[in-house]
Structure 1
Amino acid sequence: MKEFTDYEGRKVTLKKERVENTKHVLAIPKFNHQYLFTDHKIRGIEFPGGKVETGETLEEAVQRELFEETGATAERLKFVGTYTVHAEKPFNKAVFYIVVKDLFFKCEYLETHGPEVFDDAKEISEEDRSVLLDDECIHYLYEMSKTDEFFN
């Protein structure tokens, strides 16, 4: 288990295993060897993710969120671990690395402006990037994805 601090100063832990009552998902997707982000209407450019709906598996939820926020469909998924924010009401996020099969244009991306593709997160300007990209744990997961053979 690894420990981090999030942008609000809360303790965050990352475990390689699944944790019961995980109600959120986070995707770190790649499309054609580039990272696929979404442009959240409020927070800015970040990785896709969201809440698990009733009756969904974590895999179904991350694929749905990926499509809703970017128009992408997954070719392969790899569960990476569970990201837990130790807030007043703690919550868990299941993290997946995803190889994207297709990227479709959509007329509506719900709470986002749609997909953004970059070779590296460092290319995202300070004014456009979500605070979540600077979260220590998400940054760690992103950096680890660069060395993960899953994407090669």
Structure 2
Amino acid sequence: MHTFRDYYKNLVTLSFEDHPFSEQPKHILVICEYNGEWLLTKHSDRGLEFPGGKVEPGETAKQAAVREVHEETGGIVNAIQYIGQYVVEGKAETVFKNVYYATITRLETQSTYFETEGPVLRKELPKDMKVDQNFSFIMKDEIVPRSIEQITRTIKSI
């Protein structure tokens, strides 16, 4: 387990074990690749980030992950795998979030990408995301880099 403070100084604990904090988390984050590039979305307020969001009533976290990828990027998920889970102990609430890794087969153009501006492809993620104003706060703590390390170790060799 890894414990650290996020962008807003909340206590975060990340684990790559099987659902260590909640069997039914209400939030998801999906690290996506499409044709060898990272697939992000541009949130209208927060900036560049991987797709993610809330689990809706009646759906599993994995179903929510597939739905959010499509809604925010137009991406059609080829394969999706659970990577880990983290808990954010915020000032107002505690949030449990699953992290997934997905490969995308194609991108469909959509009339709306909901609260985002659609897909953004990047060959590499910059080393300075913590200070890059183009990136969302979601990309500025240890979740994304540690999850990518886990993906590299357990799923693929980048």
TM-score, L = length of structure 2: 0.88
Shift of 1:136: 1.8
- Which residues of structure 2 form unaligned runs of 5+? none
**1:14 aligned onto 2:20:** no
SS in 2 for 1:121: coil
**1:122 aligned onto 2:126:** yes
1:138 aligned partner: 144
Structure 1 consecutive aligned stretches of length 4 or more whose deviation exceeds 4 Å: none
SS in 1 for 2:132: coil
Shift of 1:140: 1.7
- Which residues of structure 1 form unaligned runs of 5+? none
**1:84 aligned onto 2:94:** no
CA RMSD of superposed structures (Å): 1.9
1:26 aligned partner: 29
Q: Could you list the per-position Cα deviations for residues 96-123 of structure 1 after superposition, in whole angstroms to 9, with x for gaps in the alignment?
A: 0001111111111000000000011118
Distance across 1 between alignment mates of 2:28 and 2:157: 19
Distance across 2 between alignment mates of 1:49 and 1:151: 24
Give aligned-pair identity as a percent: 34
Q: Could you list the per-position Cα deviations for residues 74-108 of structure 1 after superposition, in whole angstroms to 9, with x for gaps in the alignment?
A: 11111011111012311111110001111111111
**1:72 aligned onto 2:78:** no
Deviates more, 1:33-42 or 1:129-138: 129-138
TM-score, L = length of structure 1: 0.91
